[in-house]
Structure 1
Amino acid sequence: MKNEPLYQQIKNKIKEQIQSGKLRMGDRVPSEKELMEEYHVSQITTKNALAGLAEEGIVERIKGKGTFVSESAFTSSMNQQNKSKGFIGLILPTMKTKIDQEFVNYIEKYVAKNGHQLIVKITRESQFEEAIAIEMYKKMEVKGMIIFPTEKENYNEAVLRLSLDKFPFVLIDRYLENILTYSVASENENGTLEAISYLLDKGHKNIGLISPIITNTVTEERAKGFEDALLKRKTTINKNLWLTLEFNDISKNKTPKLIKDFLLTKPEMTAVFTMNAELASYTHLAITSLKNETGRDIELITFDPPGISGISFIEQNIEECSKKTVELLLEQIDGTYNPRRIFVPVKLNQCEHFESLLLVDKI
């Protein structure tokens, strides 16, 4: 792929979007300018890519209106799907983070590599929608399912029924604590332990934690890793330095102020760990605002890359998680049933100093 001309790589990307259903018959294809910005290439490159697709009959270019997926391309894509080994259903609660998008990208890659087609349903953190998606996929006679469970405290009964029926499925990112199923997750506990140990090594004694309410195996393991790091150093676990947020309180409009107000009440805190990249971005806003007003600085470390320069973070191996997930699902589809949990190692990316390069709105 890397040896192909850039215009050919862009052509292939658009073809993949048509085959996956992201682009359908009659949909507008990004313009030359939009493709330039997305792929950071010259206009001549994007012009050649679209011209090549038009020559193959995959797109139709209408002067003054744009470029659109042709009927022949859609028919070809459907014929290709009909020749596949069948559909795999992916259910996930959100597509708002880069991590979510990387999971979909790599899962689709390995599903397609093994001759299947991926279809996606987003539940928007609704267990009702999760149950509907499961029933819909069963009616479609998908070969198997990959499920990111919602953040809710209790698992969906529809997921439990899949387990009891031994229907091919894999849970990813979290698992059923008291029921052995196929699941793939990152080493949340070890990763958090390493992150907090890193802060302790730097001399931090009062370390805060900012988390969604702790309701699932992900948040439970990360909280345990936090505690274990302190226990190993015989340091007191002070849960007065913990801020747990209801799901409804996590938003760009509300969360930064809630965190800033919390930090103001904890003058002894010199560092803080956040459970995920979204909370890291909100915490960074709060810390920067606090620093501008009082001169007080707080070191921030988080799980997953926050996309902000100078912040240490724990990095999951999304491609390996996705690959293992597809392998476990295909094992079941091929007739083997040996449920187990797989934990994929993570790594700590350290930043020795941090400076904000972002403009921060007043909180």
Structure 2
Amino acid sequence: MGTPIYEKIIRHLLKKIELGQLKPKERVPSEKELADQFGVSRITSKKALEKLAQYGVVTRIRGRGSYVSEHFDGARIPEFGHCADTEDSFRPGSPPGGATEKVTIGIIASYFSASFGLNILRTVEKTLSARNYHLIVKCTYGKKELEEQFIRSLLDYGVDGLIVSPVNGEHYNEELLKLVYRKFPLVLIDKYLPGIPACSVYTDHKEAAGALTDYLLDQGHEQVVFVSARADNTSSIEERIQGFTGAFLKRRKAIGVNAIFTDMPVLNTSVHEAGDPLEWDTGPLQAFLEQNRSITAIFACEYDNAILLSHALRQLDSYRDCEIVCFDMIYSRPGDYPFTHILQDEREIGRKAAELLLAQLERREVPLLNPVGFKLKIRPSDVPEEKKY
């Protein structure tokens, strides 16, 4: 259960060779025949035959097919790194004869935007390319079903490791949990799964949110609200809420009854393709703002939320001086940004995620929780100001 299908094809063929049902120089079923037999795409069956050829089990002849290698002894079935029947069966083995195995890594995230994610992707790609590894990129646009589908399809394709930014949701992705418990080389980015022993690289969202809230309280704001999409067991949002409330408690300040609003629109495919967050449904947000006109500052969980809030506030004259802060930012030019914000270290997240995945591929132990520093970028009047954490 959870084993990539191309591995099942390899095991099937090795067993036939071991039992003498396929002898040296005999033709092996074609990519199409194997794809039909196992109900998979030809990409998957091709991967299986390529692996067998790489280890010298079969010889592939262009235009003619694949054959059991002439001098291959079926009694000496090789120890394939991906074929051992153990819980560690995913650990890559070293090809015989010092051959170099082509390593492919998959990276899955909701999307990679200029405000957050794009520099992570660039750094991961750069780090892996330096090792001649290949990278496959998939975007889920926040859809859990797509995340599950991509994990399965990438495993069928034969990726050797995965970097995943998990979709927000009330329940953990079952396919992700299978990877963790089977010790498949995996690194989570931007968030971790509480109680699940997966290697994760992320910003300390609680500390960062506390620093951003402290900034607002230092400015004298009393009526401050936190806005985000639903937390739904999402560590990054939950910890930002904890950091927000913790800053008030630390100063022994009361938090308003309506201080937390978690009904912001969630990114979806059609909106993302349109490229305009102002097209989101803002009905609940507008109603909330209308009912809470004493607000003087708003903590937006994400940059897109801040843009949407800025637009909504312009529709309400009484909110003209309301200050907005957020996580992440798109810079029009250095030193010019409209919101005080938390700047996450995307390059360090990407570098560390890639290095930790490579360490797992090399069978080295890695720490599970790997927080990365951040900066508080204060909206400039004349001179930009920042604080490092």
Same fold per superposition (TM over 0.5):
yes
Q: Aligned-pair RMSD on alpha carbons? A: 2.3
The alpha carbon displacement at 1:248 in A equals: 5.2
Match of 2:192 among 175, 178, 194: 175
Aligned to 1:304: 328
Match of 2:261 among 234, 237, 243: 243
Aligned to 2:85: none
Aligned to 1:132: 149
Is residue 256 of structure 2 the alignment partner of residue 230 of structure 1?
no
The alpha carbon displacement at 1:195 in A equals: 0.7
**CA contact under 8 A between 1:281 and 1:306: conserved in structure 2?**
no
Distance change (3 Å), C-alpha of 1:283 and 1:306? farther
Structure 1: unaligned runs, 5 residues or longer: 1-81, 355-363
Aligned to 2:211: 194
Aligned to 2:83: none
Is residue 327 of structure 2 the alignment partner of residue 327 of structure 1?
no
* Residue pairs, 1:245-324, within 5 angstroms: 245=263, 247=265, 252-256=278-282, 258-290=284-316, 293-294=317-318, 296-307=320-331, 309-324=337-352
Structure 2: unaligned runs, 5 residues or longer: 1-98, 269-276, 383-389
Aligned to 1:19: none
Deviates more, 1:95-104 or 1:272-281: 95-104
The alpha carbon displacement at 1:310 in A equals: 2.7
Q: Measure the CA separation in 1 of the matches of 2:176 and 2:285.
A: 34
Is residue 377 of structure 2 the alignment partner of residue 349 of structure 1?
yes
Aligned to 1:358: none
Match of 1:113 among 117, 125, 130: 130
The alpha carbon displacement at 1:133 in A equals: 1.4
**CA contact under 8 A between 1:241 and 1:266: conserved in structure 2?**
no
Q: Measure the CA separation in 1 of the matches of 2:174 and 2:319.
A: 51
CA deviations on 1:81-111 (whole Å, 9 max, x unpaired) are: x987411111112235531222221211111
Match of 1:337 among 362, 365, 382: 365
SS of alignment partner, residue 166 of structure 2:
coil
Aligned to 1:23: none
Aligned to 2:38: none
Distance change (3 Å), C-alpha of 1:338 and 1:105? closer
Aligned to 1:104: 121
Matched to 1:303, the amino acid is: F
Matched to 1:217, the amino acid is: S
Between Structure 1 and Structure 2, the one with more helix by share is 1
Q: Measure the CA separation in 1 of the matches of 2:295 and 2:227.
A: 12
The alpha carbon displacement at 1:237 in A equals: 1.8
Q: Measure the CA separation in 2 of the matches of 1:349 and 1:198.
A: 10
Q: Measure the CA separation in 2 of the matches of 1:100 and 1:226.
A: 23
Distance change (3 Å), C-alpha of 1:254 and 1:125? closer
Matched to 1:143, the amino acid is: D
The alpha carbon displacement at 1:254 in A equals: 3.8
- Over 6 Å off, 4+ runs: none
SS of alignment partner, residue 269 of structure 1:
coil
Q: How many residue pairs end up in the alignment?
A: 271
Matched to 2:296, the amino acid is: T
SS of alignment partner, residue 279 of structure 2:
coil
Distance change (3 Å), C-alpha of 1:213 and 1:295? closer
**CA contact under 8 A between 2:314 and 2:320: conserved in structure 1?**
no
Aligned to 2:12: none
Distance change (3 Å), C-alpha of 1:271 and 1:98? closer
Is residue 174 of structure 2 the alignment partner of residue 157 of structure 1?
yes
SS of alignment partner, residue 179 of structure 2:
helix
Aligned to 2:88: none
The alpha carbon displacement at 1:209 in A equals: 1.0
SS of alignment partner, residue 95 of structure 1:
coil
* Residue pairs, 1:82-101, within 5 angstroms: 85-101=102-118
Please report the TM-score for the alignment, with normalisation by the length of structure 2: 0.65
Q: Measure the CA separation in 2 of the matches of 1:321 and 1:116.
A: 19
The alpha carbon displacement at 1:257 in A equals: 5.1
CA deviations on 1:199-221 (whole Å, 9 max, x unpaired) are: 11111111011110112000001
Q: Which structure has the bigger radius of gyration?
A: 2
Q: Measure the CA separation in 2 of the matches of 1:112 and 1:295.
A: 49
The alpha carbon displacement at 1:245 in A equals: 1.2
Matched to 1:297, the amino acid is: D
Q: Measure the CA separation in 1 of the matches of 2:264 and 2:379.
A: 30
The alpha carbon displacement at 1:269 in A equals: 1.0
The alpha carbon displacement at 1:305 in A equals: 1.0
Q: Measure the CA separation in 2 of the matches of 1:130 and 1:94.
A: 12
Distance change (3 Å), C-alpha of 1:325 and 1:298? same
Distance change (3 Å), C-alpha of 1:130 and 1:249? closer
